[in-house]
Amino acid sequence: MMAYTPNPPSLLILFRELLNTIIYSAGDDPLLARAHQLFQKGPAQTNNGFLLAPISLGIVLTFLIRYIIGHVFMSILILETVEKQVNVSRVGDKKLAPSSRYLLQTSAVLYRRGGFSLLLSGIYSACTYWVMHTLVTNLSSILLPSPVAYIMASVLLAETRFFWTANTILQRDQLRFVSSPHDFRRWRALVLPTFIYSMAETIMMHLPALLNSRLAPASNEDVTIEGLSYIVRSDILISALMLFAQLFLLLPSYIVLILVQASLLPPTCETLIFRPSRQQQQGVRVGEIFSAVKQGPLQAWEAAQMIGIGRLLYCLEVYGKMCLCLLVIAAMVHLMVYSML
């Protein structure tokens, strides 16, 4: 038996889907969950096993879009904005928008140069990192609170995440120039930005549950009109706080982490950033990206100083396009499921 809930109406479900897509809220407390439960009736029971097909397809497409747009394109965009600033400071030319903002164009360029496998060249490193991170977090949570265990696992595996980013932004034949793991100086340079980003992730994961427990109604009796209004207002307040943390904590700390990781790569390595005027297979080198900023690895505070309004707006644009794609997939899955009920 499979339980699927057709009530409340599809628009309310899609609105919650959109809100929880825009705002990073992992864990067991999705945003607007309490308000949604007030309108929710009993789930519809069905034996239709064909529902697994659209649901599974939606999960796979959601994962691919989150990885390709949310990690690959976002990492390229962050580095490309640095490279654009270098060119402007050198020639005083009119500021050009980074080409990686245009998802279809960027996908087509990368696909022509390396096929679909180039877009997923870092997927093995990503899976390795998250498997190791989950194991270390679960083992550490035996002795430590789960938020502390998550942060500690992220810091310990900072170099593993560095290789994930390297596999993502570098062309495949350039990875041989990256020094082998267990470089203590590189790990030490990654500790602070990794700690800040993992702390931001932990806040985003655990803050909704913490606030919900503080703002939950005192009794489990039938909810009155005043109680309903209180629950809706508190859920909206939590969502607003999470959106603020998303924009001014999580996203800037992610930019800092990517910048520090990229600055630790050998300057001669070619990235996936391409200039139209260059030869077909030649990418912008790491040294060219950071040539007008600093020679050598960046410190976390130096990377933080590079965060500007323009870079944040570009990242938000790409992030918004990713959320729009995810909403379209969610709408298609819901439509297919409802038509099969």
Q: What's 229-281 look like in SS3? A: HHHHHHHHHHHHHHHHHHHHHHHHHHHHHHHHHHHCCCCCCEECCCCCCCCCC
Mean pLDDT of the 143-168 span: 95
Q: Is the pLDDT of residue 239 over 50?
A: yes
pLDDT for position 89: 46
Over residues 146-169, mean pLDDT:
95
Which pLDDT score is estimated for 90?
A: 47
Sort residue 180 into left (φ over 0), alpha (ψ -120 to 50) or beta: beta
pLDDT over 90 (residue 29): no
What pLDDT score was predicted for residue 180?
80
Are the C-beta atoms of 155 and 202 separated by less than 8 Å?
no
What pTM was estimated for this model as a whole?
0.88
Q: How sure is the predictor about 6, in pLDDT bands with cuts at 50, 70 and 90?
A: very low
Instruction: Give me the pLDDT at residue 281, please.
Output: 58
DSSP symbol at 172 = G
Q: What pLDDT score was predicted for residue 85?
A: 58
User: Quick one: average pLDDT of 182-197?
Assistant: 94
Contacts 24+ apart (CB under 8 A), 90-95: 90/292
